[in-house]
Structure 1
Amino acid sequence: MKARSLTMASAALAVGIATLAAGCGTTTKTTTGTAPTTPKSGGTLTVALPPQTNLDWYLPINTASSDQIYNGWMDNQIYKPLIFLNDQYQIVWKSSIASKITYNKAGTVYHVFIGKNWKWSTGQPVTANDLMFTWNVVKAASASNAPTPWPFVGAGTGDIPSGIQSVVENNSHEVTFTLKQPANQEWFIYNGLIQLVPMPSAELNLYAKGPNPTAADWTKEVQYLGSIGSRPSTAQLASDGPFELVSATPNQTWIMKPNPDYGGYKPKIGKLDFVYEASSTAEFSALRQGQISLGYLDPSQLGAKAQLTSQGDRIVPAYTLGVYWTELNMWPGTSYASIFDQLYIRKALEMATDQQAIADQIYKGYAIPSYGPIPPVPKTKFYDPSAEPTIAYDPTAAKKLLEAHGWHLKNGVMINAQGKPLNLTFLWVTGSSSGQQIVQLMQQDWKAIGVQTTLKGVNFNQFLTDTSNKHSSAWQVATGSGWVYNGPGWLPTGGQLFSSTAPSGTGYANNEEDALIAATHKPYPSEADFLKAFFKYEAYTAQQLPMLWEPNFGSINVISANTHGAVKWGNPVTANPQYNHMWLSSSN
């Protein structure tokens, strides 16, 4: 999912220690007395959202503009995922609606079994019919004629929906998916089936009822769902997750209460609040006043961390399995698409971006320069350092590269033979001092090679709306976001980001890239054979620069003194926290 950089993980996942890089920051813990070990009931767990970020989507299937990780934090508490993955990217069946999934050796037939312990807050059981409803909604929302605000953001990822030959409801707790061609089983489960979060069909299905609804019925149904997806009342119809939505007030708070009908581990806390923050300064003030259970520090605030540790708060850095970037507007027909289509342009911009300075001076050492689609930290089997060689910061060489392709300086700006200047609108996410420092540093470095930029700051929600618009030339480059491999695709094979039809890309298209991505989707006799194909994709993508690579940062999370279970259940690598396992030692 799309994630905001800097405070991405720190806001609500807040908390687990992923693999820390040696020498990257420090972990500060202040202990007063013996920490309680017996979970208590009651209290309000308050989670700070990133600055100027609203939760604005109340269905578990997303459009391009609603596909942000923070909506996912809320929606995952309301709608139980079909498949839940832990920080080791292993399926946790007791936290999944599916009790098991079986498949044939060819990778063409998959049987999904629905656990019988799950039920909606209405008292009705979660059944295969709810999974079928989600499947049919996703299929209709992925169609070329899908009404606004669709298409479904996962369309084309994990063979959903175009790679599916048939879907059959065998009984109330079993559904069979048959593919058109063999697929890597792990890839289809992790990137395809995982997208199909069951929705309460009894409450949501208004227009596609009966034994044989038509395609027109389903189009009308997804049009209806699109119209109510942004309404909090939609999420209040039924929940099979650990919490129910009580209220939602934009620019203020989103309040949730425990779901008494939840079929898994029931929450100990009495209430879960997601809280809007106007700025990182406002959030720090709330931390000092003890108003936040799970929060974060902007790197610029590290000098004041003693104000928090002195009151017992813990500061815990964490890294996600994600990729952070500067996006390039390469959508066909936009004003600079033909320029950005040239690899040498992308390479010059990357060579003029000082990743080490960003990591050291702005992130204060809580970041690792990254040069490809897989970060070096946290350490995973997907990262091959030989596939992602360092791209040295060298503005002199970057300028020469542009000049070698016919560009020349005119009044300090590079211009090509056709008179087109490298004069770019640079979109960035407001609300963070460090975010502003990064974009100003990049502006300064790029100016040295003749690339002029006009900075345009917007809040995170508007940023997603702007960058997902395939027809807008109002921006050329954009920074302040990234992608965590936690949906639509969890296995990081890149199809959802870098293929020519990527639902979450920004217009990059390359036939060889497509072929290498497709090769990772095939079934292989061993993991070693799969990884061989994966590393070829990784190496090619790294050097192609479909986005400009940025450091993988460690979020600087703050856990209040009376909050427990946050490190164990924060799941920072997947950015999928389990708040129902957290508890408070005293009510707040």
Structure 2
Amino acid sequence: MLSKSRISPTIRRTLDVVSQFSKGETFMKARRVAMAGGLALSLIALMGAAKTSNVNATSKAVAGGTIDYALPPATNLTWYFPLVNSSNDTVYNFQLIDQLYMPLLYINHDLGIDWKNSDATRVTYNSQGTIYHVFMNKKLKWSDGRPVTSADVLWDWKMIQATSAKNAPAPWPYEGAGTGDIPTGVKSVVPNGPYEFTVTLKSPANQQWFMYNGLNQLQPLPMQVWNKYPNNTLKEIQYLGAQATNPAFDSVVDGPYRLGKVVSSQYWTLVPNAKYTGGPLADSKIIMEYEGSNASEFAALKTGSIQVGYVDLSEYGAIGELKPIDNIWAGYNFGNFFLALNLHSNAENGLGPVFNQLYIRQAMEDAIDQNAINQDVYHGYAPDQYGPIPSIPSTQYLDPALKKPLYSYNPSAAKKLLTSHGWKDVNGVMTKGSQALKFTVLYTSGSQSITDMMVVIQSDLAKVGIKITLDPQPFATLVGTITNSADEGQWDAASGIGISYGGTYPTGQTEFATDGGLNFYGYNSSEEDKLIAATTKPTPSESQTLKIFDQYEYYTSQQLPLLFINNAGTIEAVQKDVHDVTTATLNPVTDVPLMQYWSVSK
């Protein structure tokens, strides 16, 4: 599938989650479509912090080597099935899954379709955007030798429909439901032979939006091993849900790797798939390593026990100590980063109705000094973000009017806004009647730079009478808390996370629409829904498409469904004996790397 938007402790195809900054931060991802990291678009900006040579010129790649790849701090991999529920829709789960199963459409670091790394070879569509004809690569085979066919896509479609039902049994429903017209906007999916199929929509759609966000969810799955109950769909999705957390479930794959030994909270081994038919065979085994903290990861970089990792920006001054590393550069995800307020009526401490007041969110946005966060915490690698589209990577989706903030850092204005609505300073805390602006903010643990950022935010808010208590939690724990629809009131605010568009078209449908799969915080706006819907419809010209998109983007930035904060880059660090880890193959824009092109020399 294409890259989804996910919670990454900041975007995969539906809501991939990722940790927020410098790989130590967490992001959620949205379903993959045409956005990168959640929405899909954005070139990666390289900002060399050191040399950018790729490898020792005298060394040669050796088949059979091992590359240790560092996961963000305190990030566990918890799900192994390509269809995912909301609490497991993270960038890092999909970084593993996407090595095992080829996407229908692979979205590259330029936010274009890379056909050579896709299941499809081409897609045609009509001018109305209602009919899409998909041609599949006839050479592709599963690791058991059977061909990858349209029947595998049709079975995936059947499972998407069943798991998307509101009454689907736990652990469902499917997180991608409601994104890209999937499944309710689809009239039919029919095969035209073993290597072709046609999707017909009920109403016209923006073709790029549907291809990136909807069509790309239709990924071939190995029906021959997973379809245990062909005559009982309910029993089948119960079975799939039960097996989704079982690493042994991925016994037949069509991607460049198969899953080897797994020890939860320690490591996940990707072994080259010797039967891979989608391109050149992988040379090296990849071990995705759990990291307890950014300090332990940095120590592993120093000793060479991590070959592909990152430098938390709290350790920026110590980069010179990384003797085994000679390839260091900055990469930016295409997504948005935020402090989420729980807008549900039953939010903890009775604050849901308070947070629903726009002036409260405006005052908090005014109070946060993004420039200080950028300079003092991230050494200039975390540009301010004023809305759902980042300034880096640079894309056509950024509204020129949002290159400057709608809400500039102004604590005096923030405090005045609160007092003008009846709030009074009582012992340093803004209070109105029995309600005090005092609450806990959950944030992802393990990264010192995230902790430093949260301390800055805590200090900034205190200046205007908003008292927050900081509660660091492992990424999976935090995501499980904030996405638990059965208990929406157990939290007040969360940060250190963001949405990665993950190669999808960045309409905001997943994140900001009332029924969006990643709208875990309870935002509800009919005007927002209308503006988002307009971005999904076909227009007579690209300029008209962008005009409509700008209207959605400006409104979202003005209404602050989330408090937008800095888009921090990741300082990528690659050992000198590892080859071909580049912006194209690491793909920080969408967070879907092409690990099969990496190799190691000895």
Q: So what's the TM-score if we normalise by structure 1?
A: 0.93
Distance 1:315 1:325 in 2: 26
After superposition, give the CA deviation of every residue in 1:2-49 in whole Å (9 maximum; x if it has no partner). Answer: 111123389999xxx95438xxx6420176996258644221011000
2:374 pairs with 1:359: yes
Distance 1:32 1:97 in 2: 29
Counterpart contact for 2:50–2:326, Cα < 8 Å: no
After superposition, give the CA deviation of every residue in 1:245-276 in whole Å (9 maximum; x if it has no partner). Answer: 01110111101111111112234433111001
Q: Which of 493, 508, 512 pairs up with 1:498?
A: 512
Distance 1:355 1:220 in 2: 50
Alignment map for 1:121-132 (pairs within 5 Å): 121-132=143-154
Structure 1 counterpart of 2:217 = 195
Q: CA deviation at 1:165?
A: 1.1
Which amino acid is 2:111 matched to? Y
Structure 1 counterpart of 2:274 = 260
Structure 2 counterpart of 1:413 = 429
Structure 1 counterpart of 2:122 = 100
Counterpart contact for 1:268–1:580, Cα < 8 Å: yes
Q: CA deviation at 1:171?
A: 2.0
In structure 2, the CA distance between the partners of 1:26 and 1:271, relative to structure 1 (3 Å rule), is: closer
Counterpart contact for 2:129–2:207, Cα < 8 Å: yes
Counterpart contact for 1:7–1:296, Cα < 8 Å: yes
Counterpart contact for 1:569–1:581, Cα < 8 Å: yes
Counterpart contact for 1:323–1:484, Cα < 8 Å: yes
In structure 2, the CA distance between the partners of 1:31 and 1:66, relative to structure 1 (3 Å rule), is: closer
Q: CA deviation at 1:420?
A: 1.5
Structure 2 counterpart of 1:462 = 477
Q: CA deviation at 1:508?
A: 0.7
Counterpart contact for 2:20–2:496, Cα < 8 Å: yes
Counterpart contact for 2:24–2:450, Cα < 8 Å: no
2:244 pairs with 1:229: yes
Counterpart contact for 1:267–1:579, Cα < 8 Å: no
In structure 2, the CA distance between the partners of 1:94 and 1:37, relative to structure 1 (3 Å rule), is: farther
Structure 1 counterpart of 2:500 = 484
Which amino acid is 1:141 matched to? T
Alignment map for 1:489-568 (pairs within 5 Å): 490-505=504-519, 506-567=521-582, 568=584
Q: So what's the TM-score if we normalise by structure 2?
A: 0.91
Which amino acid is 1:524 matched to? T
Which amino acid is 1:259 matched to? N
Q: Which of 36, 43, 49 pairs up with 2:65?
A: 43
Which residues of structure 2 form unaligned runs of 5+?
1-5, 9-18, 28-35, 37-41
Distance 2:325 2:170 in 1: 49
2:306 pairs with 1:292: yes
After superposition, give the CA deviation of every residue in 1:476-522 in whole Å (9 maximum; x if it has no partner). Answer: 111111111116xx000110101111110121111111111011011
Distance 2:293 2:551 in 1: 42
In structure 2, the CA distance between the partners of 1:75 and 1:462, relative to structure 1 (3 Å rule), is: same
Q: Which of 481, 490, 493 pairs up with 1:474?
A: 490
After superposition, give the CA deviation of every residue in 1:155-182 in whole Å (9 maximum; x if it has no partner). Answer: 1110000101112123222222111111
After superposition, give the CA deviation of every residue in 1:125-181 in whole Å (9 maximum; x if it has no partner). Answer: 111111111111111111110111111111111000010111212322222211111
Which amino acid is 1:108 matched to? T
- Structure 2 counterpart SS, 1:539: helix
- Structure 2 counterpart SS, 1:313: strand
- Structure 2 counterpart SS, 1:176: strand
Structure 2 counterpart of 1:67 = 89
Q: CA deviation at 1:312?
A: 4.2
Which amino acid is 1:293 matched to? Q
Counterpart contact for 2:70–2:291, Cα < 8 Å: yes
Which amino acid is 2:593 matched to? P
Distance 2:529 2:354 in 1: 21
* Greater displacement, 574-583 / 404-413: 404-413
Counterpart contact for 1:387–1:535, Cα < 8 Å: no
Q: CA deviation at 1:88?
A: 1.5
In structure 2, the CA distance between the partners of 1:262 and 1:497, relative to structure 1 (3 Å rule), is: same
Distance 1:32 1:479 in 2: 34
Structure 1 counterpart of 2:254 = 240
2:296 pairs with 1:282: yes
Distance 1:364 1:282 in 2: 21
Structure 1 counterpart of 2:420 = 404
- Structure 1 counterpart SS, 2:108: coil
Alignment map for 1:17-32 (pairs within 5 Å): 19-20=44-45, 26-29=48-51
- Give the percent of matched residue pairs that are identical in Structure 1 and Structure 2: 41
Distance 2:220 2:297 in 1: 35
Structure 1 counterpart of 2:169 = 147
In structure 2, the CA distance between the partners of 1:420 and 1:43, relative to structure 1 (3 Å rule), is: same
Q: Which of 297, 314, 325 pairs up with 2:327?
A: 314
Structure 1 counterpart of 2:465 = 450
Distance 1:343 1:312 in 2: 47
- RMSD of Structure 2 on Structure 1 (CA): 2.1
After superposition, give the CA deviation of every residue in 1:42-70 in whole Å (9 maximum; x if it has no partner). Answer: 21011000111111110112111111111
In structure 2, the CA distance between the partners of 1:185 and 1:551, relative to structure 1 (3 Å rule), is: same
- Structure 1 counterpart SS, 2:260: strand
2:155 pairs with 1:133: yes
2:443 pairs with 1:436: no
In structure 2, the CA distance between the partners of 1:358 and 1:182, relative to structure 1 (3 Å rule), is: same
- Structure 1 counterpart SS, 2:158: helix
Structure 2 counterpart of 1:270 = 284
Distance 1:403 1:388 in 2: 29
Counterpart contact for 2:26–2:497, Cα < 8 Å: no
Structure 2 counterpart of 1:324 = 337
Structure 2 counterpart of 1:249 = 263
After superposition, give the CA deviation of every residue in 1:443-488 in whole Å (9 maximum; x if it has no partner). Answer: 121112111212211100111101112333222111111111116x
Structure 2 counterpart of 1:584 = 600
In structure 2, the CA distance between the partners of 1:77 and 1:533, relative to structure 1 (3 Å rule), is: same
Distance 1:220 1:578 in 2: 35
After superposition, give the CA deviation of every residue in 1:104-136 in whole Å (9 maximum; x if it has no partner). Answer: 121111112221111111111111111111111
Distance 2:191 2:52 in 1: 54
In structure 2, the CA distance between the partners of 1:33 and 1:113, relative to structure 1 (3 Å rule), is: closer
Distance 1:75 1:363 in 2: 31
Q: CA deviation at 1:300?
A: 1.0
After superposition, give the CA deviation of every residue in 1:202-228 in whole Å (9 maximum; x if it has no partner). Answer: 111112x2xxx5xxx323221211111
Alignment map for 1:202-213 (pairs within 5 Å): 202-207=224-229, 209=230, 213=231
- Structure 1 counterpart SS, 2:450: helix
Counterpart contact for 1:18–1:318, Cα < 8 Å: no
In structure 2, the CA distance between the partners of 1:222 and 1:388, relative to structure 1 (3 Å rule), is: farther
